[in-house]
Structures are given as C-alpha cells and as structure tokens.
Amino acid sequence: MREIPLFRRVLLPLLALTLVLSNGAALAHEAATTSTVGALKVERHGDHGRAVILIPGLQGGPWLWQQAIAQLQKNHVVYAVTLAGFDGVPAPADGGNLFDRADASPLQLIEQQKIDKPVLVGHSLGGTLALRFAGEHADLISGVVAVVGLPIFPGMERASAEQRQAMAAQMRGTMAVATPKQFQAQSLGYMQKIGVIDPQLAARYAPMNARSDIKASAQYMAEDLMFDGRVGLKNANVPILEISPYNAPDFSTPPMAMSEAQKTAYYHSLLANAPDAKVVSISSSRHFVMLDQPAKFQPAPDGFLKLP
C-alpha cells in the first residue's frame, strides 16, 4: 500500500489469489422473489420499510449476506443482487466493459421496480460500485454502506493511469488462463490468507467463490484495478459509511505494518472528496468482515438505516 515497487512485489502476487474471491454461505434463507434486471440477478426479500440493495464483491452471490438478509428483511425490502458472470449467472455474451455494465444495472433496478431512495450496501468490488453510483446518482439513493470497497483499489492511488492499465492487463492475463482446478485452489488460498480468520470458514466459503466465470472474473478484476472514482465522490451528496476490517497479525510486519488507527486514516484519505463519509473499523476481522464478526458487523448497517 505504500509504493508502486512494493505493490508489484508484495501486493500484486496476492491479487492473483485475491478478489478471485468473494463470498458465501451454504445456509438457506427464506424463499425470495427472483428476477433479472440488466446485468443483475435480483432476489427480493421482505415486504415493507426502507429499501436496501445488497451488492456482493467479485464472484459473490446472495449467500454472503445470508445473516444480514435474515435481519434486514424484518423491517426492510431487501434486494440481493448478483452480477453477470458470478455465482452461476451467465457472463454477458456481447462483450463490453463489465464494470460499466454493472454500474448501470442498479439504475435500471431502481427505475423498473420504482424503488424510492434505497440504501446501497456493497462489499469489496460491490462497495466500489456503490460509491461510484453515489457520485453519479446521489438524488436516487439515501446513502451507501461500503464494506472494504473504496473509490480506488488500495495502492493504486500512487500509480498513474498508464501504470494501472499495465498492472490490470497483467492481472487479467494471469487470472483468465486458470483452469477450474487452479481457480478453486486460488479461491481457497485467498480465503485462508486474506478472506477470513477462521480456517473452517475459509473451507466452507471458498467453493462458493469458484462457481463464477473465470474470464469474466478476470475482466472485472482488471477493470476494478484501472478504476479511479475519487473525483466523482465530490458529487456523492449522501451519507457514506465505510467499514474497514482489521486483523493485527496481518499488519505486524513491513511493508504492510500499520496500526488500526493508521489503516482507518488511510481509508479516510481515499474518501476525502466525499462530503459526508465516515470510516468504522471492525477487529479482529479480514476482508469478509461480515463472516468473521457478524455480531459486530450487523449493527453498522442497522444503525445507518435508522438515519432520517
């Protein structure tokens, strides 16, 4: 997270495993109404209250939010979406920029379903998409809860647009040629080292991540690495809550050494252009904070949804 050489040497190899990730629980929740809107598969839960749109990260599905859905649907209408190419949803056959398509789909959902001022809750890549949407359509939503997702991929703020493009091409080339067996192994390695703290959780959720389209995952990852939405945050005139996980052993040695307060401040710096952004740290947790610390995580969106 410090300098581009360190990013290439330390973080880039992790990224080859990472965000090849995302989500999951095999636990069942109540039956939902399912539909397709734009590039999204949409599950609807609940029948009253302020609407919430849940956007998982790379290779994610609604299972990531299983505990959140069970809680939120009591008092909210919950739309749990899956992006095209993830969790068995077919990847778009006509090409194009998947990140842009994913950004346009919540607008279609809001307009088609006539959703009044929903709160967007996004994890990782989904959080980045939620922040981007806030900068483009703040008048259509009530706020954003971004879990780990930031307006620019951590470390990339020190890279030029050309450097980001080069690293994205390298990442896409590495990820896209993985065999299904390699893809599964990468997912498990990511969950064990970066995704969650508990090895049993890693073993349970890793297979969920490998149900996505390999080439689509590589393209989403590359487009995420190239994206810089910091300037757009100036127009995000809604409350934003950023959730930052922290696990002290992961940040105990250089070049990743930093305290919890330093990591929180770093997240704040990337959100500096947002008129109303707050960062909350949750420890001890890793990238999938809602799986590591569900009891600490759930009050954050619950409290946010109670705001006027």
The dihedral formed by the CA atoms of 243, 288, 169 and 189, expressed in degrees to the nearest 10: 150
Count CB-CB contacts under 10 A for residue 1: 17
The distance between the two most distant Cα atoms of the chain, rounded to a whole number of Å, is 51
* Domain definitions of the chain by residue range: 4-302
- Which pTM value belongs to this model? 0.90
Distance in angstroms (rounded) separating the CA atoms of residues 53 and 118: 7
pLDDT reported for residue 130: 98
pLDDT tens digits, the chain, 308 residues: what are they?
A: 443 443 344 344 334 433 333 343 333 345 689 999 987 999 999 999 999 999 999 999 999 999 999 999 999 999 999 999 999 999 988 878 999 999 999 999 999 999 999 999 999 999 999 999 999 999 999 999 999 999 999 999 999 999 999 999 999 999 999 999 999 999 999 999 999 999 999 999 999 989 999 999 999 999 999 999 999 999 999 999 999 999 999 999 998 999 999 999 999 999 999 999 999 999 999 999 999 999 999 998 888 888 77
Distance in angstroms (rounded) separating the CA atoms of residues 39 and 104: 8
Q: Please, what CATH class does the domain formed by 4-302 belong to? A: alpha beta
